[in-house]
């Protein structure tokens, strides 16, 4: 397959982080828009992006983009796209999701059914058949309408990329793996610095950090829809990507990453998840309240997702919880803290105004990423040249 455009959706506000990841993989960016990064690549790029990108939600193969203000336009412009270049005669194809924002066409079910009819009409004529068995590989279609511009892509990932395959056990209000990775990348944390999550829940922040430190690709332990696309991607491309992912793992890495939680079930889940991710030897999990947070070393990092109190009965506990968190952080006088929360009074009870604050949508929930910056550690003296 020749050069094509790929679409990588991400959390709103995380486009710059994903753009950097794509560039680090060696691919050329075509556009950066709200909630997605588009880039150019070949069949190998589909494999690389699915296996290596930590902050993308999925990878879509772009089929086309056009303006449509009526269902007739949508039908005709979908019908003229070269679907036969992507979907074989026995392919199973359907519009799995339609999203519409500020567009005249806004009914997802109507958009889905009209586009499917248009695709069938084109492929029926191209392949010279009346009935499609659809017993081959799956080619799920996703479509976005933004201000009447229709963008169509085939989903290469299948299950969302935040599902790495390690989080079998979870607790309430978890943060997704992709968002956790993106937030870690927004901080200056590096694998030679201490990292503590005092509200670790099922362990997502510590696990994602440990995987980064050991250079473990996020997509190593799962499958992707496009693995079955023999007409577009040779099996060798997937094997090469997995071989590379295995080769770059740092198996000798030593880090100081810790996760605490007051809930014993959460700690148990976190340990199991870390084991399934292959990083349990790199993280110390412990049952501990935030008021008991302490560490003997200096210049550490706290990255955490404290309770938001989404349920009314939990709201009353939040002032005390954030106050205890702030008091514990005060004692860690050279540390930096980063927390994502939707709790409006977080700074007030934490006892300090954030040095930086970033609005981030966690799904449909508006949250803030508060950044309390500590001093930089002194530079190590350079070794004299021999």
Residue-wise pLDDT for 189-218, tens only, equals 999 999 999 999 999 999 999 999 999 999
Q: pLDDT grade, residue 313 (50/70/90)?
A: low
Q: Which one is predicted more confidently, 139 or 376?
A: 139
pLDDT digits (tens, 9 = 90+) for 22-49: 999 999 999 999 999 999 999 999 999 9
Q: How many C-beta neighbours within 10 Å does residue 287 have?
A: 13
User: Rounded to whole angstroms, how far apart are CA atoms 95 and 109?
Assistant: 9
Q: Tokens at residue 308, please?
A: 């938001």
Q: What is the pLDDT of residue 311?
A: 59
pLDDT at 363: 79
Report yes or no: 16 and 29 within 8 Å, Cβ to Cβ.
no
User: Is CATH 3.75.10.10 what the domain over 4-155 is classified as, yes or no?
Assistant: no
pLDDT of residue 316: 86
- Give the pLDDT band (50/70/90) at residue 173: low
What the block records as the tokens of 157 is 């990932």
Whether residue 1 has pLDDT greater than 70: no
pLDDT more than 90, % of the chain: 89
Point out which residues pair with 197 in neighbouring strands: 259
Interatomic CA distance for residues 216 and 248, integer angstroms:
8
Q: Is the entire prediction scored with pTM above 0.85?
A: yes
Q: How far apart are CA 122 and CA 45, in angstroms?
A: 28
pLDDT per position as a tens digit, 237-272: 999 999 999 999 999 999 999 999 999 999 999 999
For 118-146, the DSSP string reads HHHHHHHHHHT-S-----S-EEEEEEEEE
Helical spans, DSSP H, in the chain: 15-25, 43-52, 71-79, 108-127, 177-185, 204-213, 235-247, 264-277, 312-315, 318-331, 346-350
Residue 284, phi then psi, degrees to nearest 5: -105, 115
State percent of the chain over pLDDT 70. Answer: 96
Q: What is the pLDDT of residue 200?
A: 96
Closest CA to 78 of 20, 177, 153, 137: 153
Would you state the pLDDT for residue 33?
95
Question: How far is it, in rounded angstroms, from Cα 125 to Cα 114?
Answer: 17
Between strands 365-372 and 336-341, the pairing is: antiparallel
Instruction: Supply the angle between the helices 15-25 and 43-52 in degrees, to the nearest 10.
Output: 130
pLDDT at res. 252: 96
Domain boundaries, the chain: 4-155, 177-217+248-372
Q: Is the pLDDT of residue 163 over 70?
A: yes
Between β-strands 36-41 and 60-67, what pairing exists: parallel, antiparallel or unpaired?
Answer: unpaired
Model confidence at 143, in pLDDT bands (50, 70, 90)?
very high
Q: What is the pLDDT of residue 312?
A: 53
CA dist list (Å): 219 to 40, 104, 118, 157, 202: 20, 38, 34, 10, 19
- Average pLDDT score over the chain: 94
Q: Does domain 177-217+248-372 have CATH number 3.40.50.720?
A: no
| The pLDDT value given to residue 169 | 73
């Amino acid at each position: 397959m020749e050069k094509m455009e790929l679409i990588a959706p991400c959390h709103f506000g995380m486009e710059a982080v994903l753009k950097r990841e794509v560039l680090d993989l060696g691919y050329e960016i075509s556009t950066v828009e709200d909630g997605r990064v588009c880039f150019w690549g070949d069949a190998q790029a589909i494999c690389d992006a699915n296996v290596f990108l930590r902050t993308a939600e999925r990878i879509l193969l772009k089929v086309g983009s056009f303006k449509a203000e009526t269902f007739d336009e949508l039908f005709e412009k979908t019908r003229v796209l070269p679907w036969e270049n992507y979907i074989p005669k026995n392919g199973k194809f359907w519009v799995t999701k339609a999203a519409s924002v500020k567009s005249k066409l806004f009914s997802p079910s109507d958009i889905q059914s009209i586009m499917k009819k248009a695709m069938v009409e084109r492929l029926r004529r191209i392949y010279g058949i009346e009935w499609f068995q659809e017993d081959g590989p799956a080619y799920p279609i996703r479509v976005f309408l933004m201000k009447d511009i229709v963008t169509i892509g085939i989903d290469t990932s299948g299950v969302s990329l935040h599902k790495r395959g390690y989080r079998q056990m979870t607790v309430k209000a978890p943060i997704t793996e992709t968002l956790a990775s993106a937030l870690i990348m927004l901080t200056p944390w590096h694998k030679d610095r201490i990292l503590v999550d005092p509200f670790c829940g099922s362990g997502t922040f510590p696990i994602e950090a440990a995987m980064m430190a050991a250079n473990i690709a996020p997509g190593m332990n799962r499958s992707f829809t496009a693995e079955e696309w023999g007409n577009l991607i040779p099996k060798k491309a997937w094997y090469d990507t997995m071989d590379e992912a295995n080769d770059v793992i740092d198996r000798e890495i030593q880090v100081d990453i810790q996760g605490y939680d007051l809930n014993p079930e959460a700690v148990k889940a976190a340990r199991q998840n870390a084991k399934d991710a292959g990083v349990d030897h790199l993280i110390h999990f412990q049952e501990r309240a935030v008021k008991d947070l302490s560490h003997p070393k200096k210049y550490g990092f706290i990255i955490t997702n404290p309770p938001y109190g989404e349920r009314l009965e939990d709201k009353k506990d939040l002032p005390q919880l954030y106050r205890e968190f702030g008091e514990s952080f005060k004692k860690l006088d050279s540390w930096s803290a980063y927390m994502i929360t939707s709790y409006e009074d977080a700074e007030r009870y934490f006892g300090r105004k954030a040095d930086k604050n970033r609005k981030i949508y966690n799904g449909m929930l508006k949250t803030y990423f508060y950044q309390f910056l500590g001093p930089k550690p002194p530079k190590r003296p350079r070794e004299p040249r021999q």
